[in-house]
Amino acid sequence: MPDLTPGGVLLAAAVASLVLAVAIAPASVARRDLVWRGGVALVAMAVMAVADSLDIVILVLLAVGVAQTALSGPRDFAVRLRAPVVAAGLLALALVFGRVQGPELLSRFSAVGLVGGLAAGVGVLPYIHALDKDGASEPDAIWIGFIGPVLASAVLLRARAFLPPDAGADFGAMLIGLGVLNLLWGTLGAWWTAHDSVAWHYSFMADWGLALCGFGLFVADGQTAALLVLFALVLGRFPLLLIARAPLAEAGRVDRPLNLLVAAMLAGSAPFAGFAARILLLRGAAETYLPLAVVLAVGLLLWLPPSLRLGRSLSRPRGRQAVALALLLALNAAVGLYPLPILSAAGS
Amino acid sequence: MLEAGGAVLAWLGASLIVLADGRRGLALGLLGVGLGLAAVLWPTSPALEAGALAVGGAVAAAKRLRNGTPGWVLMPPGSTPRLVLCIAAALLALWLGAVVTSGSGASLRIAVLAVIGMTGVRVIGDRQPDVVLSGVAGLALAAAAASSLASGQVEPAMAFGGALLAATTSFVRWREPQRA
C-alpha cells in the first residue's frame, strides 16, 4: 500500500465528494457548472498537495481563485475575487518576512501572515465570506468545504518547516485562538440564525475551529484529529450541504431516524469519523493545556442542538439523494471504526 | 545600479496600476512591474527565468491594451487616497527592505514588498474586473520574484508559472451575476 499523505487523503476524499455532489445535485444546480468548478478545483488541489514549496501553493491559489471567480457566482466579479487575492497576498508577505534577515519580530509577522492568509483563503474568522440567506452559497462553500482543507494541509505542513521554533510556538497559539473563536462563533451562529442555509455555513466554521485547534496543538493527537475533521468536512458536510439545498426551498423539517443519524454524524457521535476526531482532539488539548480541553468540551456540547437542526433541514431525501446519503453515512462510519489509514497519513 | 533602477521601475509600474483606471495606464503599469522585477533579478538569476517575468508582464500589458476602459484615466477625481498609498507604500517598503532587514538583495525586498502591498490593496479597493485582474497579474509577478529570496535565484517553476498566470489574467472573461 503506498504511503498516504494528509494532502493525498483529503484529495481522495474530495474526488469522492465531487462524484457524489454531481450525482445528487438538485435541479436548481447546473451539473455542468458543478463539474467545471469541481474539476478546476481538483486539479489545483492536486498541484497544491504535491507542490514542493509554499510559493507554488500561492500561485496555484491565485490561479484557482481567478478560475473559480470567472465562473458565475452570486456576487460581483471583483468581490468574489477578493478573498483568494487577500489570502495569496498575505501568504506571499509571510514568505518574504520569513526569508529575510532581520529582527526576530519579522518571523512573528510571518506567522501572522500565514494564519491570516489561511483564514482568508478558507473563509473563516476574521475573514468570513459572505453568507447567503437564499441558499445560493455553493460558490463560497467550495472554498470552506472543498478547496480549503487541501489548502490548509498544504500551508500548515510546509509552514512548520519554514518557521523558526519561537515563531512556530506563536503560530500554534494563533491557530488555537482562531480555532476556539471559530468554534464558538460557528456554533452559536448556527444555533441563533433564522436561516438554515446560513446555519450550514456556520457549521463549516465550527468544524474549521476544531481543525485549526488540532493543527495548532503540535502534538500527534491534534494533527490526527485535525485531519479527521477535515476529512469529515470534505466527505460529509460538503455533500450534505448540496442535499440540504433542495429541501431548503421547501422549508420542510422532519424527525425521521435518517435525519437523526445525519445529526449524529454532524455532531461527531460514535461511530462516525467525527467521534474519533473529537476524542483525539480533547486528549491532545488535555495533554497540552487542560483549560483548553474544557473550552473545547463546552464548544462540542453546544454543537449538539445546531446539529439536530441541520439534520432536520435535510427533510426527506429520495432516489439518488437517499442512496448518496446512505453512502455518506456508511463511509463516515467506516472511517470512524477503522481510522488507521488516516492516522498513518497524519503521522507521515 | 540595475537592481535599484529595477526596483524603482517596479514601484512606478505598481503605482500606475493603483492610479489608473484606463487600459493604457494599467497596461503600462503591468509592463513596468514585469520589466522592473526582471531587472532586479537579472544579476543573480538565470536570464531565462528573469526574462520570463518581463515577457509575462509584456504579454499581460499587450492584451490589457485591447480591453478595459479606453484611455489612460489616470488619477480620476477622488484619487488622493491612492496617491497617498503609492507614496506610503514606497516609504514603508524602503524602510523595511533597507533599514529593518539586512543582507544582500535590498532592491529585491523593496520591489517585492511594494508591489505585493500596492496591488493587493488595489484588488481589495476596486470593483472593475479589468483593474482587479491587472492587480492580480502584478501580484503573481511579485510572488514569483519573491521565491528568489529563499535561495538567491528565482525558481524556474515560479518564474514561468508567475509569468504564465500574469499573462493569462488579461485573457480572462468573466460573468457577472444576473440580477432581476
Q: Is the pLDDT of residue A127 over 50?
A: yes
Rounded alpha-carbon distances, angstroms, from residue B44 to B2, B39, B57, B143: 11, 10, 20, 17
- A290 occurs within a structural domain: yes
Contacts of B139 in chain A (CB under 8 A): 62, 85, 88-89, 92
Chain centroid, CA A299 distance in Å: 17
Do B120 and A85 make contact, defined as CB atoms within 8 angstroms?
A: yes
CA dihedral of residues A244, A245, A248, A252 (deg, nearest 10):
-40
Residue B83 to chain A, least CA–CA distance (Å): 21
Mean of the per-residue pLDDT values for chain B? 93
Q: What integer is the mean pLDDT of A72-91? A: 87
Do A66 and B169 make contact, defined as CB atoms within 8 angstroms?
A: yes
How many domains are there within chain B?
Answer: 1
Contacts 24+ apart (CB under 8 A), A294-298: A295/A180, A296/A180, A296/A183, A296/A210, A296/A213
Cα distance between residue B3 and residue B7, in whole Å? 6
Q: What integer is the mean pLDDT of A319-326? A: 84
Q: What integer is the mean pLDDT of B119-128? A: 92
The residue with greater pLDDT, A27 or A171, is A171
Q: What integer is the mean pLDDT of A183-195? A: 90
Q: Is the pLDDT of residue B128 over 80?
A: yes
Nearest-by-Cβ selection for B116 from A66, A77, A92: A92
- B178 occurs within a structural domain: no
Cα distance between residue A333 and residue B121, in whole Å? 46
The fraction of chain B above a pLDDT of 90, given in percent, is 83
Cα distance between residue A182 and residue A186, in whole Å? 6
Q: Which of A164-178, A241-255, A324-338, B38-52 has the highest mean predicted lDDT (pLDDT)?
A: B38-52
Residue B132 to chain A, least CA–CA distance (Å): 6
Q: What integer is the mean pLDDT of B58-75? A: 92
pLDDT in tens, B94-116: 999 999 999 888 999 999 999 99
**For residues B138 and B19, is the Cβ–Cβ distance under 8 A?**
no
Do A78 and B150 make contact, defined as CB atoms within 8 angstroms?
A: no
The C-alpha cell at B156 is 524556474
The residue with greater pLDDT, A175 or B152, is A175
Cα distance between residue A258 and residue A142, in whole Å? 25
**Residue A253: which pLDDT band, with cuts at 50, 70 and 90?**
low
**Residue A249: which pLDDT band, with cuts at 50, 70 and 90?**
very low
Rounded alpha-carbon distances, angstroms, from residue A344 to A9, A52, A279, B127: 10, 21, 17, 46
How many other β-carbons are positioned within 10 Å of the β-carbon of residue A192? 11
The residue with greater pLDDT, B16 or A340, is B16
- B175 occurs within a structural domain: no
Q: What integer is the mean pLDDT of B22-32? A: 96
Nearest CA in chain A to B120: A89
The fraction of chain A above a pLDDT of 70, given in percent, is 91
Cα distance between residue A94 and residue A73, in whole Å? 30
- The secondary element (H helix, E strand) that includes residue A125 is none
Nearest-by-Cβ selection for A56 from B135, B157, B172: B157
**Residue A158: which pLDDT band, with cuts at 50, 70 and 90?**
confident
Interface confidence, given as ipTM, is 0.95
Nearest-by-Cβ selection for B101 from A62, A78, A102: A102
How many domains are there within chain A?
Answer: 1
pLDDT (0 to 100) of residue A151: 95
Nearest-by-Cβ selection for A62 from B132, B139, B155: B139
Nearest CA in chain B to A69: B174
- B103 occurs within a structural domain: yes
Mean of the per-residue pLDDT values for chain A? 86
Q: Is the pLDDT of residue A342 over 50?
A: yes
Residue A162 to chain B, least CA–CA distance (Å): 11
The fraction of chain A above a pLDDT of 90, given in percent, is 47
Q: Is the pLDDT of residue A136 over 60?
A: no
Concatenate the DSSP letters of all residues of A7-44 into one string: HHHHHHHHHHHHHHHHHH--TTS-HHHHHHHHHHHHHH
Q: What integer is the mean pLDDT of A145-167? A: 87
Q: What integer is the mean pLDDT of B2-11? A: 95
pLDDT (0 to 100) of residue A138: 55
pLDDT (0 to 100) of residue A131: 61
Which residue, among B63, B58, B73, B86, has the nearest Cα to B163 in the 3D structure? B58
pLDDT (0 to 100) of residue A4: 74
**Residue A73: which pLDDT band, with cuts at 50, 70 and 90?**
low
**Residue B71: which pLDDT band, with cuts at 50, 70 and 90?**
very high
Do B132 and A56 make contact, defined as CB atoms within 8 angstroms?
A: no
When scoring A48, A64, A100, A158 by the number of chain B Cβ atoms within 10 A, the one with the most, hence best to mutate, is: A100
- B86 occurs within a structural domain: yes
Cα distance between residue A300 and residue A279, in whole Å? 11
pLDDT in tens, A290-316: 999 999 999 899 988 899 989 888 877
- A1 occurs within a structural domain: no
Residue A62 to chain B, least CA–CA distance (Å): 8
For chains A and B, CB pairs below 8 A equal 119
Contacts of B124 in chain A (CB under 8 A): 82, 85-86
pLDDT (0 to 100) of residue A25: 76
- What's the pTM value of the predicted model, to 2 decimals? 0.93
Parent domain of A279: 6-347
